Chains A and B, each alone.
Chain A
């Protein structure tokens, strides 16, 4: 089955620790995205990548980093500089990085602070 796989489903972070969230897709999509979802707020874009080895900051990139070494993989690192990391993180992909290509989502990773 084609789709987007996010792991782990739940993740806990200690103070001062960096953690990495995994996102893998087998849809052969060029573009990939990371969003953060908080209660009562819409999805907010953290980073996006339209092609391998290239990525751009979204609206709330501070305290996060990404890499795009392979087409199918777009991991997100939540660094210790992110002071309020508790949220539901969603990875998405689309055929291309343009608005006329709808985005498809994985089932998310819930990150909490220990």
Chain B
């Protein structure tokens, strides 16, 4: 079983829709959870960072962590065409230098 699983998509939604992106992980020692957005031919940009179970909101973005189920989600409300990108989850354990990345989900928001 891979350490981090992420559905690669592609995912296509109409403008204004609520988008749900998800990752599952296998190692219960993971404690830090990040979501990155990557536009084509660009580097990943940090969107959300959290280390506890529950929800964290930032504008149209909400990160959700369920440690008991080893499941993390990113919700995008009122999606815009500018949200079209690949979204990467990244997870790390306490005291570890290394991030484990999901393979990314490609999202297209259609006007």
Known: A99-B92, A102-B46. A40 touches B8 (CB 8 A): yes
Contact digits for A6-30, partner B, Cβ 8 Å, 1 yes 0 no: 1000000000000000000000000
Number of chain B residues whose Cβ lies closer than 8 Å to a Cβ of chain A: 29
Number of chain A residues whose Cβ lies closer than 8 Å to a Cβ of chain B: 26
A41→B103 contact, CB < 8 A:
yes
Instruction: Answer whether residue B96 sits at the interface, using C-beta atoms and an 8 A cutoff.
Output: yes
Q: Which residues of A contact B97 (CB under 8 A)?
A: 31, 48, 50, 56, 97-99
Instruction: Answer whether residue B17 sits at the interface, using C-beta atoms and an 8 A cutoff.
Output: no
Instruction: Answer whether residue A78 sits at the interface, using C-beta atoms and an 8 A cutoff.
Output: no
Interface segment out of the listed B36-44, B54-62, B66-74 = B36-44
Instruction: Answer whether residue A104 sits at the interface, using C-beta atoms and an 8 A cutoff.
Output: yes
B104→A42 contact, CB < 8 A:
yes
A107→B98 CA distance, assembly (Å): 20
A42→B4 contact, CB < 8 A:
yes
A100→B46 CA distance, assembly (Å): 14
The residue in chain A whose Cβ has the minimal distance to the Cβ of B92 is A99
The residue in chain A whose Cβ has the minimal distance to the Cβ of B30 is A99
Known: A42-B104, A43-B101. A99 touches B94 (CB 8 A): yes
A42→B31 contact, CB < 8 A:
no
A106→B46 contact, CB < 8 A:
no
Contact digits for A77-114, partner B, Cβ 8 Å, 1 yes 0 no: 00000000000001010000111101111111010000
Q: Knowing that A42-B4, A56-B97 are A-B contacts, what are 18 other residue pairs whose CB atoms are under 8 Å apart, sorted by A's residue number?
A: A31-B97, A41-B103, A42-B104, A43-B44, A48-B98, A92-B43, A99-B92, A99-B95, A99-B97, A103-B90, A103-B99, A104-B46, A105-B43, A105-B44, A106-B43, A107-B42, A108-B41, A108-B43
7 cross-chain pairs, A with B, having the tightest CB-CB distances, nearest first: A99-B92, A105-B43, A42-B101, A43-B101, A107-B43, A97-B97, A42-B103
Binding site for A on B (CB under 8 A): 4, 8, 31-32, 34, 36, 41-46, 49, 51, 88, 90, 92-104
Binding site for B on A (CB under 8 A): 4, 6, 31, 40-43, 45, 48, 50, 56, 58, 90, 92, 97-100, 102-108, 110
